[in-house]
Amino acid sequence: MGKEIKLSLVYRDMWQSSGKYMPRVDQLVRVAQPIVDMGVFSRIETNGGGFEQICLLYGENPNKAVREWTTPFNKAGIQTHMLERGLNGIRMSPVPSDVRELMFKLKKKQGTDIARSFDGLNHAPNLQKSFEYARAGGMIAQGCLCITFSPIHTVDYYIKLADTLIDYGAEEICIKDMAGIGRPVSVGKMIKGIKDRHPNTVVQYHGHSTPGFSVATSLEAARAGADYIDVGMEPLSYGTGHADLLTIHEMLRDAGFSLPDINMDAYMEVRSLTQEFIDDFLGYYINQRNRKMNPLLIGPGLPGGMMGSLMADLENNLKSLNKWKAKKGQPLVTQDQLLIKLFDEVKYTWPKFGYPPLVTPYSQYVKNASLMNVTQMEKGKKRFSMIDENTWGMLMGKSGKLPGPIGEELQAMAAAEGREKFAGDPQDLYPDELDKFRQQMAEKGWETGQDDEELFEFAMHPPQYEDYKSGKAKEKFNADLAKRKAAANQNTAASTTPVVVPVAASSSASPPPKSMWIDVDGERFKVSVSYGDDANSSPEEEKISANPKPSAIAASGGPMVNVESPLEGKFFLTKSSSDKAVKVGDKVKEGDTIFYVESMKVINAVKAEDSGEIVEILVNHGDDIEEDDVVMRLK
């Protein structure tokens, strides 16, 4: 009989690598027992990552979801595991130490056995508290090596990183190949090196399928001594997800490994239920691009799980860029052309940023900066003319030490802007806050919950929790789902019943549409429709839609300068409540930060390109704005 190897079903990650939402708690409870009955899994990934924030977004209590979802696995003796982001806990931004400590105590009480902890920079000191708190709370502390491929991230680098994590208290090691770009032989050498030095340490391999390496890497990992292999299953395996259970199971058996049989009746039930959940509502939030593998991502190394948001960002930027090019009489660019430019720019930007592993949230920072570089340079502006505040925080060491030095031009920019390098413990920047949140809950008349679980949710996700408590989250989600269903039904009707609209419509007919949705290979795109000299639009309408610049001379006789937004998003005068906002009458100098735009999940500081006095602020704090909208005027 061959060496035993165990499998873990990453049911949580299957969903979140494919789309936005997880199943509701009633759906999770239905699928739990059939997963147990499959008889092949030793572990199940149940929660962590964005799981709890997602529950809040559609108005569901995440604590109820975690407790009820983990119970069947606890009873069956199957270990459950969660993903957490070290300094960031289970959100995208840093978390106070006391909130992190409560998380591990609480998650164990709610039924989660293993804390899979990763730091997006592989900055080991950020994980020391995670391991300490996990072990104190009764959880198994599993430390991640975030796999990427660069001159810095060598096999030896990762073996030494594993040594450090184990010294800091990690009881297990996870090879976290979030983009699936770890080369199979290199991952095998890595695991063998770790096992040679730490033969009693459990090693678990987790790899995404996007570029196509994951099946071969799973075999190399097993041969090198991995104890567990993470798998997905139909209908959410492969694509930006994970290698399929049936493939991995058969491959490992053929290689001589010992695995339990799969109860195929239970398998088909899990498969059917998962498809039912997709058909119910989750499919409306799954980008069809995420169901395909993409070897183009080998080069830039971006994780496949962010392809959905990447393509949405790309589509928005393409639209605004081509609008600008049309005004200038320049040739338009296609989505594919912009995508390749983006991938090439990632390869340029990433080393300049010090080679942060391309995992949440740093993959977002690198992608955003690269996309801004591409669009700004297409408009004749300088590279790195727009860097968001989150990214500057990373570059200045506020998230931990970067693997490599940042580029000289970025160092010069930081010095010119008075940005100082932070060399301390990033946790020190985020003081304890549980008492503050406890007091706020008392003032609102809210219970802190069993084991302080409601207090934890409020402290971890304040705005989302408030929307959940008020009912606003459920209302917004239901409205959004209804809108998506209506659009999908409209598409279906349009595709089955073609309608030809004659050019010469009667005067009583409705004007032809200015935009429409089209369906290409199951993916929806919104396109603008041009009719040449549009008889149905007035010069007034065209003037408004073009958002022309007003006269350069104000009524008072002074020269006016329009300040336009460089990107679409939400307009903010400050990035935090403690900051001082600019106001009408203020004098600003070229290079001063005058407002912020939240776009692509980060806050972008916008600087004045001219000196002058603010005479008008045309939008409100929190308003949605479009690229090139005039938001202020200077004199």
Q: Residue 441: inside a domain, yes or no?
A: no
72, pLDDT greater than 90: yes
Buried-exposed string 619-629: b where 16+ CB fall within 10 A, e elsewhere: beeeeebebbb
Residue identified by tokens 């001219």 is: 610
What is the Cα–Cα distance from 473 to 58, expressed in whole angstroms?
6
Q: Residue 542: inside a domain, yes or no?
A: no
332 and 231 belong to one structural domain: no
What is the Cα–Cα distance from 440 to 67, expressed in whole angstroms?
25
**How far, CA to CA in Å, does 351 sit from each of 356, 372, 604?**
8, 17, 21
Q: What is the mean pLDDT of residues 600-614?
A: 81
Residue 108's CB: how many other CB atoms inside 10 A? 19
Q: What is the pLDDT of residues 502-561, one digit of tens each?
A: 333 333 334 444 444 444 444 444 444 444 433 333 333 333 333 333 333 334 445 788
> Is the N-terminal amide bond of 361 cis, ω within 30° of 0?
yes
489 and 420 belong to one structural domain: no
Higher pLDDT, 621 or 425: 425
Give 173's pLDDT tier (boundaries 50, 70, 90): very high
What is the Cα–Cα distance from 632 to 615, expressed in whole angstroms?
8
Query: What is the chain's mean pLDDT, rounded?
Result: 87
Q: Residue 376: inside a domain, yes or no?
A: yes
Token pair recorded at residue 143: 């430390």
At 252 the pLDDT is 98
What is the Cα–Cα distance from 448 to 458, expressed in whole angstroms?
9
518 and 613 belong to one structural domain: no
Asked whether 60 and 333 are in contact (CB, 8 A), the reply is: no
At 289 the pLDDT is 80
Reading phi first (left if > 0) and then psi (alpha if -120 to 50, else beta), residue 200 is in alpha
Q: Which residues contact 284 (CB under 8 A, 6 or more apart)?
A: 481, 484, 485, 488
Give 494's pLDDT tier (boundaries 50, 70, 90): low
Q: What is the DSSP letter of 238?
A: S
Q: Largest Cα–Cα distance of the chain, in whole Å? A: 91
What is the Cα–Cα distance from 392 to 15, expressed in whole angstroms?
31
Last residue of a domain, which of 291, 311, 338? 291
Range of the domain at 315: 299-429
349 and 375 belong to one structural domain: yes
- In 3D space, the residue among 566, 571, 577 whose CA is nearest the CA of residue 622 turns out to be 571
Residue identified by tokens 């735009």 is: 597
Q: What is the mean pLDDT of residues 190-200?
A: 98
CATH number of the domain at 615, please: 2.40.50.100
Asked whether 581 and 344 are in contact (CB, 8 A), the reply is: no
Residue 495's CB: how many other CB atoms inside 10 A? 10
Higher pLDDT, 269 or 589: 269
196 and 273 belong to one structural domain: yes
- The helix, strand and coil proportions of the chain, stated in percent and rounded to the nearest 5, come to 45, 15, 40
Q: Which residues contact 311 (CB under 8 A, 6 or more apart)?
A: 287, 289
Q: Residue 461: inside a domain, yes or no?
A: no
Q: What is the pLDDT of residues 11-68, one digit of tens each?
A: 999 999 888 899 999 999 999 999 999 999 999 999 999 899 999 999 999 999 999 9
Helix (H) or strand (E) holding 166: helix 155-167
At 577 the pLDDT is 59
Lowest mean pLDDT across 411-415, 484-488, 589-593: 589-593
Q: Residue 229: inside a domain, yes or no?
A: yes
Whether pTM exceeds 0.85: no
The dihedral through the CA atoms of 195, 198, 204, 206 has a sign that is negative
What is the Cα–Cα distance from 611 to 341, expressed in whole angstroms?
33
At 48 the pLDDT is 95
Q: Which residues contact 162 (CB under 8 A, 6 or more apart)?
A: 143, 145, 173, 193, 194, 197, 198
Q: What is the mean pLDDT of residues 284-293?
A: 87
Residues facing residue 553 across a β-bridge:
559
Residue identified by tokens 């990992």 is: 221
Helix (H) or strand (E) holding 104: helix 97-109
**How far, CA to CA in Å, does 157 sit from each of 139, 185, 239, 470?**
27, 15, 29, 48
Asked whether 413 and 438 are in contact (CB, 8 A), the reply is: no
183 and 145 belong to one structural domain: yes
At 41 the pLDDT is 98
At 535 the pLDDT is 35
Q: Residue 464: inside a domain, yes or no?
A: no
At 189 the pLDDT is 98
Q: What is the mean pLDDT of residues 327-336?
A: 90
At 305 the pLDDT is 66
**DSSP per-residue codes, 312-333:** HHHHHHHHHHHHHHHHHTPPP-
> Is the N-terminal amide bond of 235 cis, ω within 30° of 0?
yes
Chain-centre distance for alpha carbon 452? 28
147 and 116 belong to one structural domain: yes
Lowest mean pLDDT across 73-77, 123-127, 443-447, 564-568: 564-568
252 and 171 belong to one structural domain: yes
408, pLDDT greater than 60: yes
Q: What is the mean pLDDT of residues 597-607?
A: 77
Q: Residue 459: inside a domain, yes or no?
A: no
519 and 608 belong to one structural domain: no
Residue identified by tokens 């964005």 is: 50
Q: What is the pLDDT of residues 83-142, one digit of tens each?
A: 999 999 999 889 999 999 999 999 999 999 999 999 999 999 999 999 999 999 999 999
Residue 167's CB: how many other CB atoms inside 10 A? 10
377, pLDDT greater than 60: yes
**How far, CA to CA in Å, does 487 sit from each of 22, 490, 493, 518?**
22, 5, 10, 10
What is the Cα–Cα distance from 156 to 193, expressed in whole angstroms?
8
At 308 the pLDDT is 63
366 and 280 belong to one structural domain: no
Q: What is the pLDDT of residues 235-262, one digit of tens each?
A: 999 999 999 999 999 999 999 999 999 9
Residues facing residue 563 across a β-bridge:
632
Asked whether 612 and 564 are in contact (CB, 8 A), the reply is: no
At 43 the pLDDT is 98
- In 3D space, the residue among 335, 575, 524 whose CA is nearest the CA of residue 343 turns out to be 335
Does residue 467 sit in helix, strand or coil?
A: helix
- In 3D space, the residue among 372, 405, 401 whose CA is nearest the CA of residue 388 turns out to be 372
Q: Residue 540: inside a domain, yes or no?
A: no
273 and 394 belong to one structural domain: no
The CA angle 515-519-521, to the nearest 5 degrees, is 155
- In 3D space, the residue among 18, 299, 346, 9 whose CA is nearest the CA of residue 181 turns out to be 299
Q: What is the mean pLDDT of residues 303-327?
A: 80
CATH number of the domain at 241, please: 3.20.20.70
265, pLDDT greater than 60: yes
Q: Within 13 Å of residue 237, how many CA atoms lie on the same side as its CB? A: 16
Q: Which residues contact 576 (CB under 8 A, 6 or more apart)?
A: none
444, pLDDT greater than 50: yes
**Considering its fold, how many domains does the chain have in total?**
4
